[in-house]
Structure 1
Amino acid sequence: MEDHNIGIGPVTRERLITEALDAIMAADIKDSAEAKVAALRREIENAIDLALAHQKEAIVEDKIEGLESDLEDAVQVAYNRGAVEWARSNYPTWIDRLEANRKAAEARGQC
């Protein structure tokens, strides 16, 4: 497993194993085998929850990045095809970049 950040700190395979073993070893020696198995089960469930949270976070981040890229491409196409005023009113902070991209596309003969 690669290192990933999920809120509090890096999540690594080694960290998950270490935390699970620490919790199990911290159980009182007098605890029954069933209690130790229950502690192990809780730690495994926590590790799975953490891994799933990371996976969901990564999927959401990828989806957001994809949608942002699609939006930028669509706005650029609209701008290049004459929707200049629409772009100015809806994406005013993008105008300089949109214009530069349009000019570069025209220079390459793509507009």
Structure 2
Amino acid sequence: MSSVFPHQPSVEYAPQKQTDVVVGREKHSDLLQVLSSDTAQEILGTLTDDPGTASDVATAVGQSIQNVTYHLDRLREVGLVAPVGTWYSEKGKEMTVYAVTTEELVVRFA
């Protein structure tokens, strides 16, 4: 039986070409702490090619959805991923679609 809900309609998003982050004595960033996690790095790698839901990412990186959701929230807080749309499961559950916000990240120490 097919679902009445669209499962994965296309989402439009345009990541920035480059994002600069400056870290120094007077300027701190949580970004490096968030990126120190292997799981966070795997999530970014997965979302670099195509946007996806937390469950899509969890399957791709072999982690629990709870762990992936935690890391997605942290990546959102530092501005590396953002919600770009909504997909629906076959049961009609609304799922947030995430994508990377930048193609290239430059960290400078000042």
TM tier, smaller: under 0.3
Higher helix residue share: 1
Higher RCO (CA-CA < 8 Å; seq separation 6+): 2
Q: Which structure has the greater CA radius of gyration?
A: 1
Q: TM-score, normalised by structure 2?
A: 0.25
